[in-house]
Amino acid sequence: MNLPPADTPRVLVVDDDEGCRRAVSRVLAAEGLRAVPVPSLAAAKEALSRDPLAAVITELRLPDGEGVEALETARRIAPFIGRVMLTGAVDFQAVQDAVNRGAVHAFFTKPWDNESLARGVRGVLEQCRLARENAEMAARLADRNLALEALVHERTAALERAKRDLQTVFDAWEDPLALVTPDLQVLRANRAWAGAASLDVREAPGRTCHVALFRRSRPCEGCPVPEALRAGASAEAALGPDQRVQVRPLDLDGPVALCWYRRTGNP
């Protein structure tokens, strides 16, 4: 006797009529499926707890209970198992209730047409396969989103540490330092610069350097910032009889000048 391969999809067939179980099993075998026939609700629950199954086909009325209970048990154990009702009971309210409860994917009446039953079972198995794959894809996407969120959090924390480190370096410098834009707006300054401008260091960003530092309404005469940024080269200039500034161009998402202010005669 030729036995089906061990990995053949298994379908639980629940019916107290042995002839019905055999007939459905033949339909399934013709579709390359392996039937697991049982005669009762209790046997169906035992099989569901023991064997991995692709689908359940059950009669509505069983000697020891309702077939819909077998379908609901199957759904609870394996959400993507196919659930088919094949019944001779003319109780459309019970069938409708089962459908409304989400326990049934397909419904057939006895006597059945073999081709229609085979086609219906194939459709249910395909529906369940797609639902399972969609759920797995959603789970993988959720895992990737969590990983991405963790990476963003890590990068954000790294940026915050870098900003703190930069401020620490700035503040450790005894002379005034500031990052200045081409229109002479301060992006960041150290405590020495803020002290010279009589500001809290947190108030420095957004200030115009010549206004905050020298109380001048116009840019300092000979200010090297614009030309250094245009040329992309370091520059130095006197801002008064006892004040000099060294400028080094940087590119921080745009041109920025690192300005180092020194009193004349300082090393």
CATH number for the domain spanning 69: value is 3.40.50.2300
Give pLDDT tens digits for 88-100.
Answer: 876 677 767 777 7
Domain boundary among 104, 133, 162: 133
pLDDT at 145: 87
Residue 184: closest CA among 238, 231, 227 = 227
Residue 65 lies inside a defined structural domain of this protein = yes
Residue 51: CB partners within 8 Å, gap ≥ 6?
10, 12, 36
Number of structural domains in the chain: 2
Residue 31 lies inside a defined structural domain of this protein = yes
Residue 166 lies inside a defined structural domain of this protein = no
- The model scores a pTM over 0.75: no
pLDDT at 118: 93
Domain boundary among 106, 133, 160: 133
- Based on the fold, state whether residues 114 and 15 are members of the same structural domain: yes
- Asked if residue 173 has pLDDT above 60, the reply is yes
- Based on the fold, state whether residues 109 and 183 are members of the same structural domain: no
Give pLDDT tens digits for 205-218.
Answer: 999 999 998 898 99
Residue 85 lies inside a defined structural domain of this protein = yes
- Based on the fold, state whether residues 124 and 239 are members of the same structural domain: no
pLDDT at 224: 92
Instruction: Name the residue range of residue 227's domain.
Output: 173-263
What is the rounded end-to-end Cα distance, in angstroms, of the chain? Answer: 100
Instruction: Give the CATH number for residue 227.
Output: 3.30.450.20
The mean pLDDT value for 72-86 works out to: 91
Residue 23: closest CA among 105, 100, 86 = 86
pLDDT at 4: 47
Residue 150 lies inside a defined structural domain of this protein = no
- Based on the fold, state whether residues 179 and 128 are members of the same structural domain: no
Give pLDDT tens digits for 8-25.
Answer: 899 999 999 999 999 999
